[in-house]
Every structure is written in structure tokens, then in C-alpha cells.
Amino acid sequence: MPPSGSPTAGSYSYPQISQTNFFIIPAFLINVSINISILTIVSKLNHDYICTIMKESPGMNKEAIRCLLCRRPKCSTGCPVSTPVPEAMALYREGRLNEAGELLFRNNPLSAITSRVCDWRDFCYGHCVLNVKKIAVRWYEIEQEVSDLYLKTAKLERQPEGRLNGRKVSIVGGGPGGIAAAVFLFREGADVTICDSRKRMGGVLRYGIPPFRLDKSYIDSYESLLTDAGVVFKGRCKAGRDISLKELSEASDAVILACGAEKPVRLGIEGEDSPMVMDALQYLSDPGSFTIGPEVIVIGGGNVAMDVARTAARRGISTTIFYRKTFGNMPASPVEVEHAQLEGVRFRVFEAPVKIGDGTVTFRDCENITDPSTGKLLTRIIPGTDHDVRCDTLIPAISERPDFSLFRDMPPIFNQFGFPLTDKSTSNISFMEGGPRNIFACGDFILGPKTVVEAVSSAKKAVEGIITVLK
């Protein structure tokens, strides 16, 4: 269940607030280009109103009152799963928290998790119309509150006229893509089985993102929600090893491949097979079971590098992140970089590894250059700048790729990026003539390493694809 300290069902009851009490913003003022002075006046008026209303409803998050309930909400269009923010916000303001929770859950069953792990600066928050004045509404806080409350009592139910009644669907992979697909399929009436090579459900949510960023009790809640409803979970069952894709395809009306991207991208340098090199995701899956250090070097500037470095630093291990560009170029969220620094992780930028030796890594200095023909930012490794850095454990965390070995018995058509070719509207995987027509895919397996909310969005698309193809 969600962590203690979260609101419990029924513990919230806000005074009813009529929508007419709010300052209504004429739609044309918002739809036309944003007028900053109007926003200033509105913000002031709303601020005065907040002060009044907060006295009357102390439990309510005041961010709700700052929301302008835009007719064309940019927060929703900026969210990969098009969360209906104004509708949910309006219900929240009226104290109808369960209805708000249900609305969110129906659209995105993982809202309790995405509201915590989304990089909302790029999504809802970054697109909020008030972001022009750097006072965007922190919608995700309300989404967390409402979703937590809903998840505590949520039950999965079949829709009365399910479009997949009696159909059998197998999902390979029980990460966020697989979990979301299972919820959507179950509601449509399908008999759902998930197989996963790991013992428990959750994928990266359970075995990658560290517990200090995401409480694992959320994944336990989803696991119970699905299995209590009758979704079958087969742990330690690896497709391609314990069951072939052909067998799955023949035994089911449809199969969804939601196997994520778990294979580390190699650095491609001398000495990479040294025993001092450790797989980032393997380390994160069970940090306590590995002895690393005393000097740890993490390579990369993304969120995986930050999670690895923070996990090691929190265990008292001396940890340094090396990145070949500079701070502003790091793909990791700036908040994660800041947290890593606060927790004692050291950073060295404009340095790239070129050789792994015995207890040392050789780095070469780099600089940013712009490709004159494309304008793209490139890294130039500066010759003659080699220098050795002491290292006991090296953890490369530069990127991950999906493992396509489960296609061994029936290879699909691959696109120019080396991913299985999928139909744009149905996510149906294309095989050669005579190959199966009932295999679909979602999440990192077809998108490459992305985000939890994008995995949910693509799971939704795959389920709609199955409905279309099986019709």
C-alpha cells in the first residue's frame, strides 16, 4: 500500500467550493497569445482569493486554487498520456477526491507513480500557461494526493461491454508498460497473463529506480490490484528461454511485448571486460549484494547514472561521475544532479574514458564543438590529454538497448534504427510473409529508453491496436 503518512480514504472532506466562486478567465484571453499583464492581475486576484479560501478549507492544496482551468489546457497536451488536468482539478476543488482519482486512474492507471517520477518540467508543469511567469501550477502534487487516496481502495472491474470479452492476451514483461496494458486489457474483458523473467512484477520501478525516489509499496499495490482481479502473473518465466514467442503467439489471441530496454550500451573501449566493470542495472537491482569501491567511477550524465551514483554515495562509498560534456548538456533532470551533489557525489566534466587498466581508467579531455553543416553539438576528444584516474569499480551508465533475442525462432522486420518495425497506429509488429500477425509491443522495447508515462501511453496504444486488429 502507499506509504504511511499519505491521506487515507475518507479522511479528507473539503468544504464544497462552488466553481462560480472563482475568477473566470474568458477563453479568448487565454486562447490568444498570452498577455503577461493579464496573468499578473489574475495571479494577484487569485492570491487574495487563495488567502480567503485556505482559511475555509485547510486540507486543500492551494495549488488547486491557482489553476486557471484553461479551456485548452497546455498541461494536458504536454503530458504524454494527456492527463485531464482541468477536469480532475475541478473535482478536487469540490472535494470530490474519489471521482478525481477514478478519472485519473481510468486514463493512466499508474498516475500514483508517474506523478512522482515524471520529469514534469518537460511535461505538464513545463507547459502550464503560468510558466511564462515562472509560477506554473504544481499539479503533480495534487495528482499524488488524489491517486494515493484512490489506490488505497481501488478495485479492477470489467467494463459492461468489454471489446475483448473472452479473448486471451499474453504480456511479456511486468514493468509499467506491461502493468498498464494488463489494466486496460482486463477492463475490456480479456483474460490476461503476464510473464516476467524476474520474480516480482514492476520492471524498472521495482528493480531500477532506487527506493529513496520511489517507495516500493506502490508496486506492491499494483501487483495486488492485478492478481486479486484475476490477472495471472508468472514470475521467473523468460520468453525466448522458458517459453518461445511462437508458443505464446499460438496459445493467445494476442501477445504484447513489454520487455523494456535492459542491455547496457557498451563504452567500446579497451579493457571493458575487466572484472572491475559492473552493470548499472544489475547493481541497482540489489545494491546490498555487491561489494564495490572503495573508489567508484560512474560514466554518464543521465538519470540512471545519477541513481547509481546516489545509491553508492548513500552507502558511504566514494563516488565520482565522469561526463564528456558539461552540466547543462546532461540528460538527467537538474534536480537529480543537484541531489547527487548534495549527497556527496563528485562530478568531473569534459572527460571521456578511453582505456580500462588494472585499478585505473584512462580519460582524455573533451570539448564541445558545433557541426558546421548540421548545427548539432558534438564532442571532440582532445588528443594528447590522456590521464589515469584510480578506480576500483567502474559502472558505465551511458544508455540501454532492448534485448531482441526472444525473436530467435521468428525474426521480425527491423527498421533502420534496429528496432522491430511496428504499425504506427496499432503497434502491431511486422514479420515476414507467413509470420504471426498477433504480436504487439509497447514501452522501452520499441521506444528505446524513455519514461514511465511514455510506457503507459504506448501500452494504451497497443491495447487499442489489439482491439482494432482482432475486430
Pick the closer one to ligand SF4 by CB: 114 or 427.
Answer: 114
The site for ligand FAD (CB under 6 A) is made up of 117-118, 172-178, 195-198, 203-204, 208-209, 238-240, 258-260, 262, 281, 284, 303-304, 307, 406, 443-445, 449-453, 455
CA distances from 367 to 71, 224, 298, 323 (A): 46, 50, 19, 11
Decide whether 270 or 409 has the Cβ nearer to ligand FAD: 409
C-alpha 163 chain-centroid distance: 28
Which of ligand FAD, ligand SF4, none lies near 123, with the C-beta cut-off 5 to 8 A by kind?
ligand SF4
User: Which partner from the list ligand FAD, ligand SF4, none does 455 bind, CB cut-off 5 to 8 Å by kind?
Assistant: ligand FAD
Quickly count: other Cβ atoms within 10 Å of residue 106's Cβ: 13
- Distance (Å, whole) CA 465 – CA 423: 9
**117 touches, from ligand SF4, ligand FAD, none (C-beta below 5 to 8 Å by class):** ligand FAD
The cell 486554487 sits on which residue? 65
249, 255 Cβ separation under 8 angstroms: yes
Shortest reach from residue 6's CB to ligand FAD, in Å:
19
**Shortest distance, position 147 Cβ to ligand SF4, whole Å:** 9
Query: What count of Cα atoms within 13 Å lies in the side-chain half-sphere of residue 108?
Result: 30
Residue 30: contacted member of ligand SF4, ligand FAD, none (CB under 5 to 8 Å, by partner type): none
CB of 141 to ligand FAD, least distance (A): 17
Residue with cell 510473464: 195
CB of 57 to ligand FAD, least distance (A): 32
User: Which of residues 143 and 191 has its CB atom nearest to ligand SF4 in the complex?
Assistant: 143
Q: Which residues bind ligand SF4 (CB under 6 A)?
A: 79, 81, 83, 108, 114-115, 118, 120, 123-124, 139-140, 143, 453
Tell me which of ligand SF4, ligand FAD, none is bound by residue 182, counting a contact when its beta carbon lies within the kind-specific cut-off of 5 to 8 angstroms.
none
Place of cell 568531473: 348
**Nearest distance, CB of residue 123 and ligand FAD, angstroms:** 9
Q: In terms of CB distance, is 108 or 249 closer to ligand SF4? A: 108
Contact residues for 450 (Cβ-Cβ < 8 A; gap 6+): 443, 444
Instruction: Choose between 95 and 177: whose C-beta lies nearer to ligand FAD.
Output: 177
Look at residue 259 and give the partner it binds from ligand SF4, ligand FAD, none, a contact being a CB closer than 5 to 8 Å depending on partner kind.
ligand FAD
Which triple of cell numbers denotes residue 102?
477514478
Distances (CA, A) of 222 to 95, 253, 271: 25, 25, 42
Rounded to a whole number of angstroms, the minimum distance from the CB of residue 461 to ligand SF4 is 16
Measured CA to CA, the distance from residue 119 to residue 124 in angstroms comes to: 9
Neighbours of 339 (CB within 10 A): 17
* Nearest residue to 170 (alpha-carbon basis) of 258, 260, 230, 261: 258
Shortest separation between residue 118's beta carbon and ligand SF4, angstroms: 3
- Nearest approach in angstroms of CB 76 to ligand FAD is 18
All 3 cell numbers of residue 388? 589515469
Q: How far is the CB of 76 from ligand SF4 (least distance, A)?
A: 7
- Pick the closer one to ligand FAD by CB: 95 or 176: 176
Phi/psi-derived region of residue 144, left when phi > 0, alpha when psi is between -120 and 50, beta in every other case? alpha
The β-bridge relationship of strands 387-390 and 232-234 is unpaired
Nearer to ligand SF4, 117 or 276 (CB): 117
First to last CA, the chain: 37
- The residue (of 140 and 218) whose beta carbon lies closer to ligand SF4 is 140
Q: Which C-beta is closer to ligand SF4: that of 79 or that of 258?
A: 79
